[in-house]
């Protein structure tokens, strides 16, 4: 039994420390994927990076990337100093696990709390506000005062407050 434990331990040791192990490829792929998402979302976007990308995360990312040569940006992702994950409104730059995981596809808690990792595209926020206004108007005409109407109206207020607040964080 002791021999089996040693063998299992050796296999685990080899698996974890072997540079050819698939887990190392997975880690590398994660940073590359994060960099590609960042590149597609921000660098190759038709969004005006000066006026339309907002949020505390966008400001932090801009500061970190602009203070270095462009060639160093992929290294920031590989070293785990920078990350980017696309969201409904833009992205999240959290390098650690997100502690604001929403139950809905729209990160209401991140928007409401002005998350330090949030990157918000002005066009996406504007479209979401228009859609939310339409939902609230429809519910007001068919189910005024219902739980759904109140919830959607509250969400609209969160978006409108966020738009006002985010104008302070133009990158």
Instruction: Look at the block and give the residue holding tokens 């190759």.
Output: 44
pLDDT at position 56 is 78
Q: What is the DSSP letter of 10?
A: H
Structural domain boundaries in the chain: 2-120
Beta sheet of 90-92, edge-to-edge order: 53-54, 118-121, 90-92, 85-86
Q: What is the pLDDT of residues 103-140, one digit of tens each?
A: 567 777 788 888 888 888 888 889 999 999 999 999 99
pLDDT at position 169 is 52
Name which of 90, 104, 28 is nearest 55 in CA terms. Answer: 90
Q: Is the pLDDT of residue 14 over 90?
A: no
Q: What is the pTM of this model?
A: 0.68
Mean pLDDT, rounded, for 23-42: 63
| CA–CA separation, 102 and 164 (whole Å) | 22
Contact by Cβ (8 Å): 152, 121: no
Q: What is the pLDDT of residues 46-96, one digit of tens each?
A: 655 445 667 778 778 777 777 788 788 888 888 888 888 888 888 888 888
Mean pLDDT, rounded, for 19-44: 62
Tokens matching residue 79 = 């070293």
pLDDT at position 113 is 83
Q: Is the pLDDT of residue 101 over 80?
A: no
């Amino acid at each position: 039994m002791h021999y089996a434990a040693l063998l299992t331990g050796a296999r685990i040791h080899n698996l974890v420390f072997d540079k050819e192990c698939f887990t190392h490829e997975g880690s590398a792929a994660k940073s590359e994927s994060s960099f590609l998402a960042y590149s597609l979302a921000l660098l190759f976007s038709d969004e005006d990076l000066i006026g339309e990308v907002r949020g505390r995360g966008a400001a932090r990312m801009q500061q970190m990337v602009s203070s270095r040569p462009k060639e160093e940006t992929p290294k920031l992702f590989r070293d785990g100093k920078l990350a980017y994950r696309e969201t409904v409104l833009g992205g999240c730059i959290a390098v650690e696990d997100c502690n604001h995981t929403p139950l809905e596809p729209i990160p209401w808690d991140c928007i409401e709390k002005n998350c330090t990792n949030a990157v918000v595209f002005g066009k996406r926020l504007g479209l979401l506000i228009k859609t939310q206004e339409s939902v609230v108007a429809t519910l007001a005409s068919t189910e005024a005062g219902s739980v759904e109407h109140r919830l959607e109206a509250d969400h609209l207020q969160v978006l409108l407050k966020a738009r006002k607040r985010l104008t302070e964080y133009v990158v």
